[in-house]
Structures are given as structure tokens and as C-alpha cells.
Amino acid sequence: MITLTNVTKRFGKLTAVNNLNLRVEAGKIFGLVGPDGAGKTTTIRMIVGIMELSAGHINLLGSDQIEQVKDQIGYVPQKFSLYGDLTVMENIRVIGALYGADERRVKELGTEILAFTNLLPFKDRLTDNLSGGMKQKLALAAGLMHRPKVFFLDEPTTGVDPVSRREFWQMLYRLNKEGMTIFVSTPYMDEAELCTQVAFMNQGQVVACDTPERLKAAYPYRLLELKAESKQIKKLLAKCPILDINAFGSYYHLVTAPDLEGELPIEAALKAAGISGYGLREIPPTLEDIFVHLAGGGEA
């Protein structure tokens, strides 16, 4: 379905994507995950033919020539790019016309897709007057106007409220169940958990690629979750057998060696500092723990 072989993209002296190898099978929800500047957007733009490669090779839908399969792919860019001074339905008609559909077919398919994205009641609203979540749904609707086989979405829920994010992903799942392959980039680890396959990208390279379950099973450390009312945890536990400490909201994830029983010295250090009422327990890793590990540690 999608194969990248030794793909590289340079901007002058900056290498944004470095010798990238990737394979995505048909029918997957594939998540490309990583921090800002990791190379996710550049990778997607090269796959869909917006940006030229500096080196390497891309095969998409069995073709080496993107122009031959462009009518089979959908693309939602990171930045909303539809017309704010047109209504929802007018934007849909413009996109439909660009794909060569006649007016009757555009109206029929547009109504169906707006109903699917829950935008039909707002078809006469100016796009500039939509919320961020509704704009992203409109971008999704526009990308579906030609019924693509594979759908690329570049951080489609960035800046969108949690309810709209959940609704957006429910729509992606429905599309995937109907047979569409989804390729989505995201900085959100909870969204990565929803993918059938995840590639972690950092500094222009994929550092791991597998199912979420296998990635978590391969985590090489023991993980303890600490809840304590203190902002000096790293300092207080400096002498404990802990490899790393990462903050996750009001909790801390303490990384220890897999064969090390680390609770007793941690509890002793907390009590010596006068901290009581804390919670300490062993937990399985999340994808966020995996990414912090793969990215070289540091606070989450």
C-alpha cells in the first residue's frame, strides 16, 4: 500500500527526514507520532506528492508515480485551507467541482458526507463562523468528496477540544471499517493508542514501529507511579535507584531497572522528607512512556 525506502529530505544544510524506511499495509490506521519538528509533516507531504524527495523512493498504491494515483488519495493538511467567506456547502461544491463531479453528484455526495460528519445542519453557515472542531470536520468532509482509498491527515485535531477530538476519531474508525486506509500524524499519545500500527519519529528518523501492544510489551524497564504533593521529587529521590523521573500531570513516573525492587528506598526517602499521604504503585507503560524512552528521556 505505502512503502518508503531510504527517503531523505534536506532543506539546505538541514536534514528534516533522514534515510526513512517505512511500510504501511492496506486497511490499517497508521499513526506517525512525534514532537514538533520530528519530520512528520515533511514525510506526509512527500508521500502525497506536494514535496520532492532529496533521495530515496516512495511507492504508493502500487505505483512509483504519484500523479497516477492522486485521484485515489485524500489529504487533510495541518493548516485549515478552505474558504472562510464561503458556506460549508459552498466549500463542498467547490471541492467536488475540482474533482470533476457534476452538480447533481456533488450535491448528492456532499449531503451524504456532511451528514456523516454531523455538519449537515450547518451547511449554510459561513466557514469563518465555525468552531475549530467543526472546521476540522469540514476539512475531513472535503477530503472525502472523491472517496479515496487511502486518507492522509496531518495532525488533524491539534488545538481541537476533547469532545471534538473524540468525535473526529469515531469518524476515522467508521471510515476504516468501511475499508479505507488511514495515515495520520499526531503529537497526542492517547490518539496513538487508537492506531493499529504506530511509528515513533524523532529528529527525522523512525526509532520504532509496531502495534501499540507490542511496543509496550518491549519496554525494558520497571515503572512505578508516584502521586505526592511536592514539586521537589527529583531532588528528594536523587539517591534512590531510579533511572529516570518524568512528570505526567499530577503524577510522576519513576523508571527503574527491571530486576530492581525499588519501593523501599523510595518510601524511606519520602518519609525522611516529611511527605505523607503519597501513592506508589507499579504500572504498565503507556505509549507516552515509550516515546520518552525512545526520544532519550527528559520530562514528559
pLDDT tens readout for residues 72-95: 999 999 999 999 999 999 999 999
Residue 82: per-residue pLDDT? 95
Q: Which of 179, 47, 77 is nearest to 138 (CA)?
A: 77
The predicted pLDDT at position 96 comes to: 87
User: Residue 297 — very low, low, confident or very high, per pLDDT cuts 50/70/90?
Assistant: low
Residue 137 in contact with residue 92, Cβ under 8 Å? no
The string of pLDDT tens digits covering residues 281-290 is 999 999 999 9
Band (pLDDT 50/70/90 cuts) for residue 300 is: very low
Average confidence score pLDDT of the chain: 92
CA distance 222 to 102: 60
Which comes out higher in pLDDT, residue 43 or 146? Answer: 43
CATH assignment of 2-215, given 2.60.40.10, 3.60.15.10, 3.40.50.300, 3.40.50.720? 3.40.50.300
- Helix (H) / strand (E) element for 47: namely helix 40-47
What pLDDT sits at residue 112? 93
Q: Is 181 in contact with 195 (CB distance < 8 Å)?
A: no
**Tens digit of pLDDT for each residue in 198-237?**
999 999 999 999 999 999 999 999 999 999 988 899 999 9
pLDDT value at residue 89: 96
Q: Residue range 55-65: average pLDDT?
A: 96
| Distance, C-alpha 59 to centroid of its chain | 22
> pTM to 2 decimals?
0.89
Q: Residue 172: what are its φ and ψ, rounded to 5°?
A: -60, -40
pLDDT confidence band for 148 (50 / 70 / 90): very high
User: In the prediction, which pLDDT does 264 show?
Assistant: 87
The whole-angstrom separation of Cα 165 and Cα 180 is: 19
Has residue 238 got a pLDDT over 90?
yes
pLDDT tens for 99-140 read: 777 888 888 989 999 999 999 999 999 999 999 999 999 999
Give yes or no for a contact between 53 and 8, defined as CB atoms under 8 angstroms apart.
yes
Determine the distance from the C-alpha atom of residue 135 to the mean position of all C-alpha atoms in its chain, rounded to a whole number: 18
Sheet with strand 205-210: strands edge to edge: 73-76, 150-154, 181-186, 29-33, 197-202, 205-210
Q: What is the pLDDT of residues 182-201, one digit of tens each?
A: 999 998 999 999 999 999 99
Q: What pLDDT is recorded for position 298?
A: 44
Please give the DSSP secondary-structure letter assigned to residue 284: P
Quick one: pLDDT at residue 160?
Answer: 85
Which triple of cell numbers denotes residue 225? Answer: 507511579
Give domain 220-284's CATH number out of 3.40.605.10, 3.40.640.10, 3.40.50.300, 3.30.70.100. 3.30.70.100
Q: Where do the structural domains in the chain lie, given as residue ranges?
A: 2-215, 220-284
Whole-angstrom CA distances from 224 to 57, 221, 273, 282, 291 are: 43, 10, 19, 4, 17
Which residue in this structure is represented by grid cell 516515546? 291
